[in-house]
Amino acid sequence: MAALAADLGVSHTSVGVNSGVRSAIDDALARAQALIPTTQLPYLPTTPELRGAPEWYPFEHQVWKVGEDIRQQFRREPRLRKDAALQLQIMHVACNRRALRGRQSFVLLLGYRGASAHGEELASQLDDHGVAGQIIHALYFMRARGFTARVWPFLEDEKAWIRKEARRYLAWEAGG
């Protein structure tokens, strides 16, 4: 089947895949790109209602929701997660700093072994605290090795869940 797919010029992962699901994911990715501002906006101020966390812009909520919608589509058609073209489009959103925290759900979409080739590019975003915990989580599930030095500082993060993700990644990296 892979040879036939190559002869037809289509990705081997798209053979036998529900084209409606693929189309829905493509549409969702286009929506996410359209929602991202053209200029970098600062994080909003913190609020007591959010326990000191910054508020979110409306577009951040919308982009995050699109990523969650894509996750639901992947549940319907898991083979699409291996599609290299889709992975690149997801990476484009996940690494677009103008999407601020809206990209968290896109980072999490890459948290599986089939996306480990994107570990380096994803790890380059660890300096953005709005997505750092999700990146560490994704690196662990990717089984992407070699990021100990970049993850180590998060052992002392103020957020317990990020410290836990860092410990888990580092324990796995150390062979434990």
Contact 123, 132 (CB under 8 A): no
Q: Give the pair of three-digit tokens for residue 124.
A: 């380059």
pLDDT in tens, 54-97: 899 999 999 999 999 999 999 999 999 999 999 999 999 999 99
Contact 12, 5 (CB under 8 A): yes
pLDDT in tens, 21-53: 999 999 999 999 999 999 999 999 888 887 778
pLDDT in tens, 90-145: 999 999 999 999 999 999 999 999 999 999 999 999 999 999 999 999 999 999 99
Query: Minimal CA–CA distance to 175: which of 141, 145, 136, 135?
Result: 145
Q: How far apart are CA 78 and CA 70, in angstroms?
A: 11
pLDDT at 12: 42
Which secondary-structure segment (H or E) carries 144?
A: none
* pLDDT top residue among 176 and 7: 176
